[in-house]
């Protein structure tokens, strides 16, 4: 464990999409580019199979709140609810510890 570890925040976004998700990919890319420019943004991980899981990482709760209220993001959220998602859940989390593994033969 890194003794210099400084806690940060993660937003876990789990979702189920509708069958017709026209326009979704473009919007997702646009929002990812926009998020990267936000104050306090640290990174994002995303994967999708039966459900989608996107985890974004942030320096503070304030940064998360600012991003949630960003004008273009508000519009994207609205479109998400009406067009693309049949269900989603958002969890705001404080990352308290972390550790990492890298294979020596990779």
Which residues here bind a copy of itself, judged by CB under 8 A? 10, 12, 14, 18, 45-53, 55, 81, 85-103, 106
In angstroms, the CA 4 to CA 37 distance is 26
The whole-angstrom separation of Cα 65 and Cα 10 is: 12
Least separation in angstroms between residue 78's CB and a copy of itself is: 11
Contact between 36 and 29 under an 8 Å Cβ cutoff? The reply is: no
Q: Minimum distance from CB of 105 to a copy of itself (Å)?
A: 8
Tokens of 59: 């320096």
Give the shortest CB-74-to-a copy of itself separation in angstroms.
Answer: 14
Q: How far apart are CA 16 and CA 49, in angstroms?
A: 10
Q: Which is nearer to a copy of itself, 26 or 105 (CB)?
A: 105
The smaller minimum CB distance to a copy of itself, of residues 37 and 97, is found at 97
């Amino acid at each position: 464990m890194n003794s210099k570890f400084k806690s940060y925040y993660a937003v876990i976004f789990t979702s189920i999409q509708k069958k017709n998700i026209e326009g979704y990919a473009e919007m997702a890319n646009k929002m990812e580019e926009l998020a990267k420019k936000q104050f306090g943004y640290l990174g994002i991980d995303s994967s999708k199979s039966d459900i989608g899981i996107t985890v974004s990482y942030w320096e503070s709760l304030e940064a998360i709140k600012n991003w949630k209220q960003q004008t273009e993001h508000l519009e994207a959220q609205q479109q998400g609810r009406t067009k693309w998602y049949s269900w989603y859940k958002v969890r705001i989390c404080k990352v308290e510890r972390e550790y990492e593994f890298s294979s020596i033969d990779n």
